[in-house]
Structure 1
């Protein structure tokens, strides 16, 4: 018996199989330095795919300032297309129809799968080009465009928009959604092949340790003063009138309470007029943004148009107690009274009353904030990227018999 030989064989057999690298085309109409949930989460996914040794081709509109992935890991292949300002969102860009260019691009360098993050003109072109070339396609459902209608006097367009989104996603091999509740809602509305892939949070960046007495003092808040806050776009679809109502209710009981808005948008002037005592910090990013979260005591998030709401998990990771409607990420992650507080979806009086209760009980607020931090620490981006990768691999596997029948070969 050759013991040494057997031991060597055992060592070799126990080694994990090498990861099969894929050629992935990722199409998105928003990406950093643009600041929004879709852009930031897509940057994390692209970075994660690079870390997992995939060859990522990122296709996006050209922006006034060049994007840099937040981790410093370069995108392997970046293709910039013509971009135009998004109506109602002048700081964002959208792509233009580009089917012919994408067909040419992918004919020369064929990807294993095309992933489309947004459903705009560039996303639609990518879907058409991929289907023309018989490429597997996956997509994200990330923005409830149809729910924005009542905020921008576009209510009559809600059904046509939903019809377009259903047509778009049902032409894909899989559509990723961030919560089980959204999966069920879309399934009821005729969406097919839905997979739940959540969102992660950077719990090292968003950390209670970043709380700064100096920053709070700049808001006029002392160590024991209560600070309510909101982070995000200052826009009608964020339901900020409810945040103001909650602040006024708390202020009636605690005159020294402070209100901080972090972000910018078309409602800033209106909010400043309605709440002249509030502090408007403007747009923040990176560690500066994390310090602003950590300086808050209660995070008020009244939006009902989110598919997820990354700000919820960022606030939780920052050790900030959250008051939100039972919707999106909050509805998925928060157990009311344990690691946050929930109001019935759309019940504004309930939201105000819940905020008033949370503001009145400091000990309970601190316990909830600690539990929120523990919840957020479990939302690791590495796990999310692995689930994302799994959906891509399933789409590729389903396409391989089609390749064989048509005499095509997957990307080498």
Structure 2
């Protein structure tokens, strides 16, 4: 199969969109498929996993390059002649690609990864909320299939009038994030620095951005016997540090690869704070690492956390504090929930998830072919 991936984000920018695109490309290469990438420039690599990467002009928005529509999109698609277009979190660049693919008769799959409703509500955009959903509806209804990562996001899309929505989750690296990593020398050393007196280490991993609501960790202020570890950086760094001032916090900065695996391994529990996650990749990573998860009863975590089994869901800052307090004082409960979380993700490897994606590609190709047949019959009549 020939797959053209158009992504609103790509290397060197690291986020959920970039990570999922890279893992999909890795699997396409492993399975012997062909692919090409179109993404914002100018700093993206010339190739990834042996596949060509084409860049379009971009402007900076919130520290990230935002790809702008370009004639390059149509020409790359025409030259590559893909069987399917994969539009990752389509916005301006993705919208152009979906339209171009339609003109070329190429099947299209749009992957939804941004909580438009949550973003608009948090920023009190009012009328802009309706306009944003109108744009999302126009973009996604131009695709043959839209893939939503969670029940909550699928419901949002259906409510907004978006058609042909299917569920597609995300994979997790079951080796990099593994309970056995706790015995690695780097994880042991990090653990000793985070918990010098045997404190329970409560960790957050992810971007420090307004939508992540990391400031909510201030609800744990004054709780005895715990220390916080914050892994990540971003535009809310100053605000989060201010909110958590004079709390026992270790700021570990952005980590990746095996360093990130060691960071998870050094924690006792994982706390997710944002209510606008369409999925919650770090929740899966924490479960793979054998950690109990405390997360909001909203968005993607609803599908990932089984309340009372492999973690605890909360609706308020008070419930967040109570959940952490319960786990902090019950090592046996932490162990049982961590083991349950590990078992829950054993079928969520990237190989498994990408096998599902290929089936969605086939469905999109079939939908495009059927639509073309109906059009030909209409013209003949």
What is the aligned partner in structure 1 of residue 35 from structure 2?
A: 56
In structure 2, the partner of 1:224 is 198
Residue 399 (structure 1) shift: 2.4
SS in 1 for 2:32: coil
Q: TM-score, normalised by structure 2?
A: 0.91
Aligned mate of 1:240, from 211, 214, 221:
214
Query: What's the counterpart of residue 15 of structure 1?
Result: none
Distance 1:116 1:61 in 2: 13
Check conservation: 1:33, 1:68, Cα contact below 8 A.
Answer: no
**How far off its partner does 1:402 sit?**
5.2
Distance 2:200 2:133 in 1: 41
CA contact (8 A) 1:213 1:222 kept: no
- CA deviation string 1:137-194 (max 9, x = no partner): 1101111133223444545422211121111111111001112332233212211101
Distance 2:161 2:375 in 1: 30
Match of 2:332 in 1: 363
Taking a change above 3 Å as real, the CA distance of residues 187 and 149 of structure 1, as seen in their structure-2 partners, is closer
Residues 82-104 of structure 1, C-alpha deviation per residue, up to 9 Å, x if partnerless?
A: 22212xx21x2121112x33223
Does the CA contact (< 8 Å) of 2:205 and 2:231 recur in 1?
yes
- The answer to whether the 8 A contact 2:38-2:73 is kept is no
* Equivalent residue in structure 2 for 1:43, among 22, 35, 56: 22
- Three-state SS of the structure 2 residue aligned to 1:328 is coil
Is residue 149–residue 170 contact of structure 2 (8 Å, CA) maintained in 1?
Answer: yes
Q: Displacement, 1:44?
A: 0.7
Q: TM-score, normalised by structure 1?
A: 0.84
Change in Cα spacing, 1:289 to 1:67, as seen in structure 2 (3 Å) is farther
Q: Is the 8 A contact 2:47 2:53 kept in 1?
A: no
The alignment status of 1:340 with 2:311, answered yes or no, reads yes
Matched, 1:74 2:27: no
Per-residue displacement from partner, 1:193-238 (whole Å, max 9, x unpaired)? 011111110010011222322112333x137320111111111211
Q: Which has the larger radius of gyration?
A: 1
SS at match of 1:377: coil
Does residue 290 of the first structure (1) align with residue 254 of the second (2)? Answer: no
Q: Where does structure 2 lack aligned partners over 5 or more consecutive residues?
A: 377-381
Q: Which secondary structure state, in structure 2, belongs to the residue aligned with residue 258 of structure 1?
A: strand
Q: How does 1:312-391 map to 2 (within 5 A)?
A: 312-344=283-315, 347-391=316-360
**What pairs up with 1:84-123 in 2 under 5 angstroms?**
84-86=59-61, 89-90=62-63, 92-98=64-70, 100-123=71-94
Task: Quote the residue 1:399 is aligned against.
Answer: 368
- Contact 1:30–1:39 (CA under 8 A) maintained in structure 2: yes
Larger displacement relative to structure 2 (136-145 or 151-160): 151-160
Contact 2:148 2:167 in 1 (8 A): yes
Alpha carbons 2:78, 2:104 under 8 Å: kept: yes
Aligned: 1:173 with 2:137: no
Distance 1:131 1:364 in 2: 53
Give yes or no for contact 1:234–1:240 (8 Å, CA) kept in 2.
yes
Q: Does 1:31 align with 2:10?
A: yes
1-structure distance, mates of 2:357, 2:271: 30
CA distance in 1, matches of 2:326, 2:362: 47
Query: What is the DSSP-based 3-state SS (H/G/I as helix, E as strand, rest coil) of the residue aligned with 2:345?
Result: helix
Aligned-partner Cα distance in 2 for 1:31–1:148:
22
Segment drifting more, 198-207 vs 232-241: 232-241
Q: Relative to structure 1, is the Cα distance of residues 360 and 60 closer, same or farther in structure 2, using a 3 angstrom cutoff?
A: same
Secondary structure at the counterpart of residue 293 of structure 2: strand
Instruction: Give the number of aligned pairs.
Output: 370
